[in-house]
Structure 1
């Protein structure tokens, strides 16, 4: 995947978020770790308004869905404020599904791509290799 200069990469699962910016160019990306803005995980996701449901049977899953919803809200805010113009999201498959439920249309327009893979806690080289392979 070609990653233009100043494009962002968000790597997420249900508990962690890492944010990187490409300081290189599309042909030779150079990812730099960025400080992650505060993620409000109080939102329990699309199905979390009920005390319990078959879709989200336990608190752990509701917490993960809430973190994904909070991550999407933070990314929406960053895109709407003009801080992020181009974005790639790499997320655990279930987290990616929850993130998609909360994308603002402006975030969707800024998306260069999505990769359904859990890379949180992996090295920067693993993230770069995954981007290069897609």
Structure 2
């Protein structure tokens, strides 16, 4: 994939966002970390302590349990929603273009919160969990990726 010089690459998962700038050539990107945000992850017991709810029907002896709310996932979705707002600002300020690399679930949440104009201005959306905070594996993945 061609990643022009000075383009921004934003890598997101549920717990962190890293923005890189391509300081290399289009065919051989060299990424430099520009900005990073981390979501402090709390233990589930610190977020919520309730037991799953129970229900029963008065006309039947059946009883049931409700599934426990996934507080960790709610916290990740909240973080990714905040990141989507940051992405809109970055896209508006950047002239060289923006590539978005995000974990598939995070990408779905981001897409819901981006306006149509911002989505159209993105050079690419890559549904991939970038794994580490290092720029080199991400640059290699971008060089191999076909848009």
* Structure-1-length-normalised TM-score: 0.77
Assess if the C-alpha contact under 8 Å between 1:18 and 1:33 holds in 2. yes
* CA radius of gyration, larger in: 2
Q: Report the 3-state secondary structure (helix = DSSP H, G, I; strand = E; otherwise coil) of the residue aligned with 1:35.
A: strand
Q: Aligned-pair distance for 1:115?
A: 1.3
- CA RMSD of the aligned region, Å? 2.4
Q: Which moved more, 1:115-124 or 1:97-106?
A: 115-124
In the alignment, does 2:27 pair up with 1:27?
Answer: yes
CA distance in 1 between counterparts of 2:7 and 2:106 reads 21
* 2:75 alignment partner in structure 1: 63
* 2:121 alignment partner in structure 1: 110
* 1:127 alignment partner in structure 2: 138
Write 1 or 2 for the structure with the bigger share of strand.
2
Q: What whole-Å deviation, never above 9, does each CA across 1:53-95 have from its counterpart, x for those lacking one? A: x9x9321111111111111101102222x24641111111101
* Structure-2-length-normalised TM-score: 0.71
CA distance in 2 between counterparts of 1:66 and 1:85 reads 28
* 2:10 alignment partner in structure 1: 10
Aligned length: 118
